[in-house]
Amino acid sequence: MQRTILISLLLTLAPACATLESTGSGMSDAHVAQSQFERIKSLAGEWTGPGPAEMGGAPMEVHYRVTSGGNAVEETIMPGSEHEMVSMYHLDGNQVMMTHYCAVGNQPRMVAVHDGSAGGNISTIRFEYAGATNLASPEAGHMHQMEMTIDGKDHLTTHWTYFEGGKASHDATFDLKRK
């Protein structure tokens, strides 16, 4: 009888234990992803800061909008300019996905990582390349990584890494303040 109870208990707890990830925080993948996505949703509004040096450093804007019943976040970088780009963020099971609709004409997909590289800090979210559409070859230029650090409710830093020829070719960092 005790053996039957023990087996039943193990079978009941196994699915819950299987979803735990060793992020150092003991949080499950689903909980980490949900926390990351909530942080991204908190960016809703208009942001401004100096543009990339290669574009003269002129002031630029980035807009975030929660859409699709709260299930997606739209990021518009440099709205209305010839370099306007859009990224869409959403949950996909136990991860946050991002698709970046780049001005160079391709659409890299990235996944938020849960490897503890941000020190368990949900305020820093690192995205890694997970594939692309409209990419001529794996060597063609594309955004490959992005890290966002949300510092309070009014300061955001994003660091984008562009790959070409199979390696990082340049970076762009946007230091933004809420308007």
Q: What is the pLDDT along the chain (179 residues), one digit of tens a residue?
A: 444 333 333 333 333 343 333 444 567 889 999 999 999 999 999 999 998 777 788 899 999 999 999 999 999 999 999 989 999 999 999 999 999 999 999 999 999 997 655 445 568 999 999 999 999 998 999 999 999 999 999 999 999 999 999 999 999 999 999 99
- In DSSP terms, 178 is beta-bridged to 47
Q: What is the pTM of this model?
A: 0.82
Contact criterion met (CB below 8 Å) for 156 and 73: no
- Placement of tokens 């735990």 in the chain: 20
Residues in Cβ contact with 170 at an 8 Å cutoff, skipping those fewer than 6 apart: 54, 161, 162
User: In the predicted model, what is the mean pLDDT of the chain?
Assistant: 85
Contact criterion met (CB below 8 Å) for 169 and 148: no
List the CATH code of the domain at 2-178: 2.40.128.20
> What Rg value do the Cα atoms of the chain yield, rounded?
19
Q: What is the pLDDT of residue 20?
A: 37
